[in-house]
Amino acid sequence: QDPYYRFNDLNYRWISLDNWTYSKEFKIPFDHSKWQKVILIFEGIDTVTKILLNNVTLGKTDNMFNRYSFDITGVVRDVNSIELRFQSAVLYAAEQSKAHTGYQVPPNCPPLVQKGECHVNFIRKEQCSFSWDWGPSFPTQGIWKDVRIEAYNICHLNYFTFSPTYDSTSHEWNLEIQSSFDVVSSKPVGGQVVVAIPKLQTQRTYSIELQPGERIVELLVKIDKNVSVENWWPHGHGNQMGYNMTILFKLDGDLNIEKSAKVYFRTVELIEEPIEGSSGLSFYFKINGFPIFLKGSNWIPADSFQDRVTSDLLRLLLQSAVDANMNTLRVWGGGIYEQDEFYELCDQLGIMIWQDFMFACALYPTDQSFMDSVSAEVAYQIRRLKSHPSIIIWSGNNENEAALMMNWYGIPPSDYPTYIKDYVMLYVKNIREVVLAEDSTRPFIASSPTNGAESVAEGWVSHYPHDTHFGDVHYYSYSSDCWNWELFPKARFVSEYGYQSWPSFSTLEKVSSKEDWSFRSKFSLHRQHHEHGNTEMLYQAGLHFRLPQSTDPLRTFRDTIYLTQVVQAQCVKIETEFYRRSRSEIVNGEGHTMGALYWQLNDIWQAPSWASLEYGGKWKMLHYFAQHFFAALLPVGFEDNNVFYVYGVSDLHSDCRLTLTVRVHMWSSLKPVCSRVTKHFVIKPGEAILIYKKPVPSLLRRCSNCTRQSCVVSFYLSTDSKPLGPTNYHFLSSLREAVGLQKAHITALISQQGDTFVFDLETSAVAPFVWLDVGSIPGRFSDNGFLMAEKTRTILFYPWKATSKSELEQSFHVTSLTDIY
């Protein structure tokens, strides 16, 4: 069965506890005796194997993230048998842990609620494959990337990689190209290298001579500064211009080796400097010299089985990030270094990547074989990835500085020097050294969260890594009221924060049966891998909403799913808007927030999680909200001491002359009861400023008979009387206290326009959180989860696969808040 169906993560666990052998007989389709060297290359093996060719042991593997190459010249025949003898990753990890007798390297096992396996920190494998608080335990074994045989005479190009660098004194671009050769000729090999970038009128020829053995050739290509070079910009800030480059090696013996690549030119700086009126240091990124607020989310593996992650799925998920106005994803350190196509798509789409190395929520061993394996892994991954402009920072690990210094694992004080020494040895003396040797074009931080330069000053581990005056923070709180913005950290950069919700019924239905469809079923508990997660969702919902009250258990389940999505969307909206409005101000010594990356973008399976995209790519309500709260131009409303404030936030590169329209609506009426337009004001590039301020009592007094409970505020920005950016809203009371809300009868007339479908909606009453759903028909709406405060509204549906009007009509279902009571 589908391994994701119901309880199969437990039913199929035996597979990962067994040792498996992959074997194959194959013929070589050429005369191998005519070649000086024949090599066998594995781009990726997951994970622990002994490899035999024709019963001769070639070697062993123990790192999923490394590339392995074996010289098979003396072993290969016309007809061959190959064997990969895999050892269970679970058993190997347990063995490695047991052999580490000097001291414990915690944590030993994941929390029981995750139903996972132990000692994942002892194996260089996708850390979440042993389970996580949003994902199952499927400790896979197999050949997860390409395998091939290559044969050559004279010499062979192992890899080539490059980095564009900008010389700010001479104002010119250079291209540093590094090529690695295996020279099998017994005498030196001479020749020429021709590098051509036609669109930049650049062609350079170099003479080279390669001595026998492994050789590295480094070239510096100067781009003529009289030629205009167009920079690569993140999404929302400019174009993603790239240039085609060819590199041709014309070597002795009529050997021609040609490679082509896309070259992008951009600079990145991580700015950590003093801020007036605040202790500590800033923490923000400049791209091409321009300060950019990083808006986005965190990326986890899109499936437990990587061969199911197709090009189409990657494009769908990454396009959805851009469609929600994101410009950044953090590739989280408990998953994998993503496939080449992931980074190529990010280059094309303008998505900046914060790239973790694959270490997460654990301490790690530092014995020599482990450290050597990590060095090789990091060097290989940097060479593979550093040419991508999308990657803007390398980060050593996820949460390990915090885990150590906040003592998650109850380490006795007397043992601290040992663990701190190990931490510095792994991330600083090993990983950082490799990064500095391989790539000088990007910043490196040892962990996330970290206090950045302050952590470095404290010996790479800070006594309090969550300090809001330095570096980045991760923030979670499920027991406090998410509508209270005063709880959120006014930090320099927030790289993780979030709330859980359940995925749509149509997503769950595919992996469950009728008896599973209730919030307290065995299945619902089994799928929830975060301790008390289901209870926390209902608690947060109960603070501002009444819980579903149907007597039909299936209806209650569907309504509860809907409500968890409402709550998640609203919580992350309030928190993100707080971070965005904090970019230009210092309050009580805190502020200048320059990044908001919520946890998490995508799902690994069908289960409750923090994601805004469900397994397969369907948008949750949160993702629709992200479209608005990450808009380039945004009005943000909030209250402080009974006064209603609106800030205007701009990510644009030029001044904006605007007005703000503030409207008050009664829950009982589809016509606004009053409306006010401000005078003109200007928002400068990259600024968040106060544009409106009114005590709530006086705002309501002007509007006939309005109370906090009976009315809601909406507001939007305009230029020359044309609305610009999203209409935002502010609730004056909890919705469970709302007065005048009526059951909304909402109808939709569906028509087709080209590849798009038009939904003409009409409502009988004001409806909060209007949710349009077409079941499992793939696609997304232009907006969803919205407040419908007018009688009619037109929404578009963009299908991802061919569908029809009749199919949409049959699947269409609309829910708004009053439907669940």
- Residue 720: its pLDDT value, please? 87
Token output for 171: 């104002």
For 463, other C-beta atoms within 10 Å of its C-beta total 11
Asked if 227 and 199 touch (Cβ cutoff 8 Å), the reply is no
pLDDT at position 749 over 90? yes
- What's the CA dihedral at 232, 391, 346, 259 to 10 degrees? 80
Q: Tell me which residue has tokens 């010249």.
A: 73
Asked if 801 and 548 touch (Cβ cutoff 8 Å), the reply is no
- Residue 702: its pLDDT value, please? 87
Cis bond leading into 449, ω under 30°?
A: yes
Q: Tell me which residue has tokens 């900008």.
A: 166
First and final CA of the chain: distance in angstroms?
38
Percent of the chain at pLDDT exceeding 70: 100
In whole angstroms, give the CA distance from residue 646 to residue 678.
11
Q: With bands split at pLDDT 50, 70 and 90, how would you rate the model's confidence at 549?
A: confident
- Residue 721: its pLDDT value, please? 84
Which helix (H) or strand (E) segment holds residue 348: the answer is helix 340-349
In whole angstroms, give the CA distance from residue 262 to residue 4.
38
Average pLDDT over residues 615-643: 98
Q: Tell me which residue has tokens 């994970």.
A: 47
Single-letter code of the amino acid located at 699: L
Name every residue whose Cβ is closer than 8 Å to that of residue 821 and which is 6 or more positions away in sequence. Answer: 546, 548, 549
- Residue 401: its pLDDT value, please? 98
pLDDT at position 207 over 90? yes
Displacement of CA 587 from its chain's centroid (Å) = 30
- pTM higher than 0.85, yes or no? yes
Token output for 230: 């167009």
Asked if 175 and 54 touch (Cβ cutoff 8 Å), the reply is no
Displacement of CA 748 from its chain's centroid (Å) = 35
7-148, which class in CATH? mainly beta
Average pLDDT over residues 64-84: 98
Among residues 478, 378, 512, 518, the alpha carbon closest in space to that of 435 is found at 378
Task: Tell me the sheet residues that pair with 327.
Answer: none
Three-class SS state of 687:
strand
Single-letter code of the amino acid located at 107: P
Among residues 91, 83, 87, 41, the alpha carbon closest in space to that of 66 is found at 41
Residues known to be catalytic: 399, 496
Cis bond leading into 211, ω under 30°?
A: no
Q: Which CATH architecture has domain 289-631?
A: Alpha-Beta Barrel (3.20)
634-737, which class in CATH? mainly beta
Single-letter code of the amino acid located at 295: K
Which helix (H) or strand (E) segment holds residue 666: the answer is strand 656-666
Q: Which fold would CATH assign to domain 746-815?
A: Immunoglobulin-like (2.60.40)
Please write the tens of the pLDDT for every residue from 218-251. Answer: 999 999 989 999 999 999 999 999 999 999 999 9
Task: Tell me the sheet residues that pair with 195.
Answer: 204, 247
Backbone angles phi, psi at 377, to 5 degrees: -60, -50
Among residues 636, 598, 548, 570, the alpha carbon closest in space to that of 819 is found at 548
For 729, other C-beta atoms within 10 Å of its C-beta total 17
Average pLDDT over residues 349-371: 98
Backbone angles phi, psi at 304, to 5 degrees: -70, -20
Please provide the average confidence, as pLDDT, over all residues in the chain.
Answer: 97
Among residues 93, 164, 87, 79, the alpha carbon closest in space to that of 129 is found at 93
Task: Tell me the sheet residues that pair with 647.
Answer: 636, 690
The yes-or-no answer to whether 157-252 and 289-631 have a common fold is no
Instruction: Write the CA distances from 119 to 99, 128, 367, 769, integer angstroms.
Output: 12, 12, 15, 44
| Ramachandran assignment for 471, one of left (phi > 0), alpha (psi -120 to 50 degrees), beta (any other) | left
Instruction: Write the CA distances from 354 to 146, 295, 632, integer angstroms.
Output: 26, 12, 21
In whole angstroms, give the CA distance from residue 284 to residue 279.
16
In whole angstroms, give the CA distance from residue 118 to residue 107.
8
CA atoms within 13 A on the CB side of 684: 4
Please write the tens of the pLDDT for every residue from 384-409. Answer: 999 999 999 999 999 999 999 999 99
pLDDT at position 88 over 90? yes
| Ramachandran assignment for 733, one of left (phi > 0), alpha (psi -120 to 50 degrees), beta (any other) | beta
In whole angstroms, give the CA distance from residue 265 to residue 223.
11
The residue ranges of every structural domain in the chain are 7-148, 157-252, 289-631, 634-737, 746-815
- Residue 705: its pLDDT value, please? 85
Token output for 127: 């850390």
Which helix (H) or strand (E) segment holds residue 809: the answer is helix 805-811
DSSP state of 129: G
- Residue 780: its pLDDT value, please? 98
For 698, other C-beta atoms within 10 Å of its C-beta total 10
What is the torsional sign of CA 672, 678, 683, 687? negative
Backbone angles phi, psi at 447, to 5 degrees: -155, 170
Helix %, strand %, coil % of the chain (to 5): 25, 35, 40
Among residues 613, 523, 746, 586, the alpha carbon closest in space to that of 318 is found at 613
- Residue 33: its pLDDT value, please? 94
- What's the CA dihedral at 118, 122, 126, 127 to 10 degrees? 50
pLDDT at position 704 over 90? no
Q: What is the residue-wise DSSP string for 192-237?
A: EEEEEEGGGTEEEEEEEEEPSEEEEEEEEEEPPTTSPPPPB--TTS
CATH number of 157-252: 2.60.40.10
